[in-house]
Amino acid sequence: MDKLKIGILGLGGVAQVMHLPALTKVDTVEITAVCDRDFQKAKVIGNKYGVKKIYKDLDLMLKECEEVNSVIICTPTEYHEEHAIKCLSAGKNVLVEKPLARNFKEAQKIVEIAEKENKILMVGMNHRFRGDVMLQRSFILAGEMGNLFYIKTGWLKTQSSNTRWFTEKDKSGGGVFLDNGVVMLDLGMWMFGFPQVHSVTGINYFHNTKSVEDSNFTLVRFKNNACLTIEVSWSFLRGAEFYYCNIYGDKGSSSINPLRVFKKMDTELYEITPKTKKDTGAIKSSFEYQLKHFVGAVKGHHKLLSSGKDALKVMQVVDAVYKSAKIGKEIILK
C-alpha cells in the first residue's frame, strides 16, 4: 500500500512532543515535508526525522510539494484560518490542532472551504482517542447506562504553553477554556451525541492573567433537558493535575480517571468495569490512534471522527461561553 505523504506546518511543542513521534510509529505514512517560520529550527527537526523537504514558507511548500496529500497544522491559533484555507484550497487534506479557530466565524470559513474542495478536515481532539474514553463511549453506545442526562467534566492543570501569544486574546482567542475547556466540551457533547443546545452559562476568572481567563466554569443545557458542566483552570491551588469525565444515565454511570462503570440491574447497582491495564501513556497513545484514524479516513476506510462540522457545533458554544462570561447572563442559542 502506498504511504500517505504528510507535511507538518508549525514545529512547536505539540508537533515535537506528540505529532512527530506518533508519525514515526505509523508505517503507512511518510513525513515528506516540514515547515516553520524559524528555518533553523525546521532544519534541525527535519534532519532529525530524515525529512528532505524543509521550508519556512507555507506557500512555497504547497507549490513545490505536489506529492504531499495531507498537512498537519500545529501553528498558533491565530493562523489556523489562514493556514487551513490555504492547504485545503491547494487540494490537501487537513488535520488541524485544537481549537479549529479563535471563534465560530473563522471556523465556519474553514469548514466551507473543506466542503467546497471535498477534502478531509479533522480537528485534533485527541482525547476522543484515549483508551479509557473509547471504552467509556463503548458502554454508552451499548446502552449500558440508559438515557444520559448529566455529564460532568473537568481538567485542572498548569498552563499548556509559556509562549507569549498563548495569553494574548487577540492571538489565542481565549485562555484556559480554549486550551482545555474546548477539549472537555467536545468530549461531553460527543458522549451525548451532539444534541441541540438550549443555553450556555459561563463564568471566567483572571487570577494570574489579564487578557485571557485562567479559570472557567460552564453549564451547557440541551433541548432534551440533559446538561453538561465543565470546570477548567490553570491556577487552582491544588497538588496535581486532575482530569475527569463523569457520565450519568437512568440505568447506570461511568467515570474516568480511573475508568469505572456501574449498571443498575433489578434493584441493585453493580460495578461492571472491564479489567484493563492502566495506560500510563494515555495522551501519547491517543495521538497515535488519532493519526491512524486520520490516515484511514483519508484513504476512505472509515467515516471521519472529530470533523470540522463537529467543531462548528463546539465553536458555537465556545462563542456563547465567552459572551455569557462577559455580560454575566445565560445565553439562549437559536
CB of 158 within 8 A of CB of 88?
Answer: no
* Whole-number pLDDT of residue 121: 98
The predicted-structure confidence for 56-91, as pLDDT tens digits, reads as follows 999 999 999 999 999 999 999 999 999 999 999 999
CATH number assigned to the domain covering 128-279+313-332: 3.30.360.10
* Whole-number pLDDT of residue 280: 58
Taking residues 119-134, report their average pLDDT: 97
- Is pLDDT of 1 > 60? no
Q: Is pLDDT larger for residue 161 or for residue 114?
A: 114
For the chain, the average pLDDT equals 96
Task: Say if residue 99 is preceded by a cis peptide, omega within 30 of 0.
Answer: yes
Report d(CA 329, CA 71) in Å as an integer: 40
User: CATH 3.30.360.10 region(s) of the chain?
Assistant: 128-279+313-332
* Whole-number pLDDT of residue 160: 87
The predicted-structure confidence for 222-267, as pLDDT tens digits, reads as follows 999 999 999 999 999 988 999 999 999 999 999 998 999 999 999 9
User: How many whole angstroms from its chain centre is CA 70?
Assistant: 18
Taking residues 138-164, report their average pLDDT: 95
Q: Which of 144-153, 219-228, 280-289, 323-332 has the lowest mean pLDDT?
A: 280-289
* Whole-number pLDDT of residue 279: 63
Place domain 4-126+288-306 in its CATH homologous superfamily.
NAD(P)-binding Rossmann-like Domain (3.40.50.720)
Tell me which amino acid residue 103 is: N
Vertex 173: Cα angle to 170 and 177 (nearest 5): 145
The predicted-structure confidence for 273-324, as pLDDT tens digits, reads as follows 998 776 656 888 999 999 999 999 999 999 999 999 999 999 999 999 999 9
User: CATH 3.40.50.720 region(s) of the chain?
Assistant: 4-126+288-306
Other beta carbons within 10 angstroms of residue 32's beta carbon come to 20
The predicted-structure confidence for 182-192, as pLDDT tens digits, reads as follows 999 999 999 99
CB of 150 within 8 A of CB of 226?
Answer: yes
- Is pLDDT of 162 > 80? yes
Q: Which of 244, 291, 240 is nearest to 23 (CA)?
A: 291
Read off the pTM.
0.96
Instruction: Provide the grid cell at 219.
Output: 453549564
- Is pLDDT of 98 > 70? yes
From residue 179, alpha-carbon distances to 154, 184, 315 in Å are: 12, 10, 13
CB of 321 within 8 A of CB of 149?
Answer: no
